[in-house]
Amino acid sequence: MAIAKAERLMNLALCLLGTRRPLSKRELRDSIEAYVEAGRVTGSRLDTAADEAFNRMFERDKDDLRELGLVIETVENIDGEVGYLARRDSNRLPPITLDAEEAAALGLAAKVWQQARLAGAASGALQKLRAAGLPEDVDPYEAHSALEPRIPVHEAAFEPLMLACRDRRPVLFDYRKATAARPEPRNVEPWALECWRGHWYLAGYDRDRGAERVFRLSRITGRVRVRGTGFTAPVPDVVTVRETVAGWAGETADRSARIRLRSGAGYPLRARATAVRELDGGWDELEIPYGHGLDAWLVEFGPDVVVVEPAELRADVVDRLRAVARG
């Protein structure tokens, strides 16, 4: 949500919650700066276009607040005009009650984020929960002191993408595939971010390719640019980022591939190997799980890997290497 709109909605909500009587549209218009700007006086009369712009803005804002959960009543006030108010007793949340296990879980969750911006937000939320009913006799930071969860975020693209996912705003960024020599521009409607094995991934709809795609944040180069509002493709109810990446890495493989790996190289491949046999000439032969995306992974090891079988995997790796060479 744009900052200007968020501020306008907040001001409208505060006006509706702070009044003891219904406020007319005219009174709200005179009380909120953004509405005053939308209804400037031209000479001695209200400009018709500005008046219509205000009415549209007010109706959208009222609908947005109701969608966010604010209960807004519409009543006839004493002057015969329609008035609006949001009664505090109708918009008060029930008391928050947490048991010891729930308090401990919240405490651990607040310690996950390492970077300052999210750490501050998590800490502030925990303090508010303490004030609202967190058990006094439970210290969530000590309840599971042996557990110290951390989610590292080193990529500069994380924060703008996190905000774009939250606000449902398309983004543009340059992305370098593992097999490409140069980055290419991507126009994406971001859905979700997820961490898998120490790396962050973005799932979203690639407008240029007209399909769902998953991007590794460490391969995004340059600045993430937010462009416009609104998505053109529906957002799935469940976004399977981890399952997609696991499939690329061969986690769901039901076949095996045989490769030759230079001695002393490719430790991630060796960790995945189901069998290793030492060869002459400084090479080893490995059997590793074979699934979708294994060809892209093998290309990252360059001349240290030679695919023996299956033939289709060998052909895919050769094609990718040739594409890199041409680029």
Residue 44: its pLDDT value, please?
39
Q: Where in the chain is the domain with CATH 1.10.10?
A: 3-90
Residue 212: its pLDDT value, please?
87
Residue 116: its pLDDT value, please?
44
CA distance 250 to 116: 35
Residue 111: its pLDDT value, please?
65
Residue 41: its pLDDT value, please?
46
Residues of the chain below pLDDT 50: 1, 41-46, 114, 116, 138, 140-141, 143-144
Residue 232: its pLDDT value, please?
87
pTM of the complete model: 0.46
Q: Where in the chain is the domain with CATH 2.30.30?
A: 158-247
The CATH code of the domain at 3-90 is 1.10.10
- 210 dihedral zone (left: phi>0; alpha: psi -120 to 50; beta): left
Residue 143: its pLDDT value, please?
47
State which fold the 158-247 domain adopts.
SH3 type barrels. (2.30.30)
Residue 190: its pLDDT value, please?
93
Residue 308: its pLDDT value, please?
95
Q: Which long-range contacts (CB under 8 A, 24 or more apart) does 253-256 make?
A: 253/289, 253/290, 253/291, 253/294, 254/291, 255/289, 255/290, 255/291, 255/310, 256/287, 256/288, 256/289, 256/290
